[in-house]
Amino acid sequence: MKPLIVLIIAIAIAAAVGIIAVSDSANIYITFSDWTIQSSLVLFIIIIILAFIVIYFSLRALFRMWNMPGNLRRWRKQRSQRLSERYLSKGLLSLVEGNWKSAEANLVKGAKYSESPLINYLCAARAAQREGRIDKRDHYISLAHTDDPNSQVAIGLTQAELQINQKQTEQALATLMNLHQQEPDHGRVNLMLLKTYTELESWREVLALLPSLQKSGLLPKENIVATQLKAYAGLMKKAGTQSDREGLESIWQKTPRNLKKELHLLEVYTSEKIIFNDTENCESLLRKALKDRWDQNILRLYGLVEGKDAAKQLAFAESLYSSHARDPVLLLTLGRLSMRNGLWGKAASYLKDSIQIEPLPETYREFARLLERQGDYAAASSYYQHGLVLATTTQQEQARLIGRGEKH
């Protein structure tokens, strides 16, 4: 645009000069030292115009040459941005489509042209893991750390997520613990740490982490309670596995009162106490639970624990008979408690009724024990065999159902 304006001005001046040339034949004299130059006015004006044009375009060319390195840098930058955006777009699209190899290739190419290739490296790490190339995944994570040291949380979260998905739980824990030290109140870090602790069955660490998650509102109240139940149950089972009777009791005492009312937790606690043959305090807990809510698992355990007074324990169980006369588990429990009180005839009656309503492997075993005590070993052997066959059949049926569920 500017050269065009200059050309128009030059033409206008030339036209003016032409007019002057026709109407005036004046001369110009230029004296310099001993030199004198004579020229017509028209020629002088033409020379001035030509000189102006030459100087203008010369300066313009010099200016462009001077700015050429900067212009080249800008061109290269714009080209790199276009290539970076193109490769990133193609890589992300391939990642979404599940074309892992193409995604990795495009993302890595795009990283070469990007001023901030962090996203490229993190997404390339995801693609590499889906290809099963764990070494390349770790390489891209390392490049991300080198490229942007200020984004350690984002990089660490991606790394931990990939490690968890790859069942590298111990490595994920190390990654998350490092992040937790840097950002102790970071919500996503704590949520992933909770998941990792749960998978590793590190129940004390789970319980220690829950208050901050509850305070931040990142977990709904029902999820908090469910996780607490799982953690306390896990600690109790661990104490039982380690034959730590005092540890089991300590865990129960530290369990919040509202959780002690949960039947599942009471069931776990009582089951471990039965293993230790130390169930005296469990009878009252189970009795209170049964008064509040009918539950066959709790009822079954009630027949296995030994309270302070066996007669009162049987009397309570019999008080439930009127409203649950056809419950096979109640009849099994009544049979067990009757045996404990030496009431063999009553025990046999309860156990037979239970088998008639619903044959259970453990009911057959209890009746076989009763027959052994009475000296009828042949009949006891028969009941043991029936119970074993029933238990085996039940296990096979459960396995078949589980297998069918997995296929679907």
pLDDT digits (tens, 9 = 90+) for 196-205: 999 999 999 9
Q: Rounded to an integer, what distance in angstroms lies between the CA atom of residue 357 and that of residue 135?
A: 61
3-state secondary structure 34-97: CEEEEEEHHHHHHHHHHHHHHHHHHHHHHHHHHHHHHHHHHHHHHHHHHHHHHHHHHHHHHHHH
> What is the percent of the chain with per-residue pLDDT over 70, rounded to a whole number?
80
pLDDT at 86: 87
pLDDT at 252: 96
Is the pLDDT score of 50 beyond 80? no
pLDDT at 404: 47
Is the pLDDT score of 5 beyond 70? no
- Matching residue, tokens 């009918």: 294
pLDDT digits (tens, 9 = 90+) for 232-241: 999 999 999 9
- Matching residue, tokens 């004390």: 204
pLDDT at 75: 45
Q: Which residue has the higher pLDDT, 400 or 206?
A: 206
Span 260-287, average pLDDT: 95
Q: Residue ranges per domain, the chain?
A: 1-62, 229-278
pLDDT at 407: 46
pLDDT at 3: 58
Q: Rounded to an integer, what distance in angstroms lies between the CA atom of residue 90 and that of residue 102?
A: 8
Is the pLDDT score of 369 beyond 80? yes
pLDDT digits (tens, 9 = 90+) for 285-332: 999 999 999 999 999 999 999 999 999 999 999 999 999 999 999 999
pLDDT band at 138 (very low <50, low <70, confident <90, very high): very high
Q: Which residue has the higher pLDDT, 405 or 225?
A: 225
Query: Cβ-count burial of 350 within 10 angstroms (0-12 exposed, 13-18 middle, 19+ buried)?
Result: buried
Is the pLDDT score of 397 beyond 80? no
pLDDT at 194: 96
Is the pLDDT score of 394 beyond 80? no
Evaluate whether 302 touches 279 at the Cβ level (below 8 Å): no
Span 13-33, average pLDDT: 59
Of 18-22, 155-159, 180-184, 196-200, the one with minimum mean pLDDT is: 18-22
pLDDT at 6: 56
Span 100-109, average pLDDT: 91
Is the pLDDT score of 12 beyond 70? no
Q: Could you write out the DSSP letters of every residue in 314-332?
A: HHHHHHTGGG-TT-HHHHH
Q: Residue ranges of the alpha helices (H) in 131-186?
A: 134-147, 152-165, 169-182
Is the pLDDT score of 25 beyond 90? no
Q: Global pTM?
A: 0.75
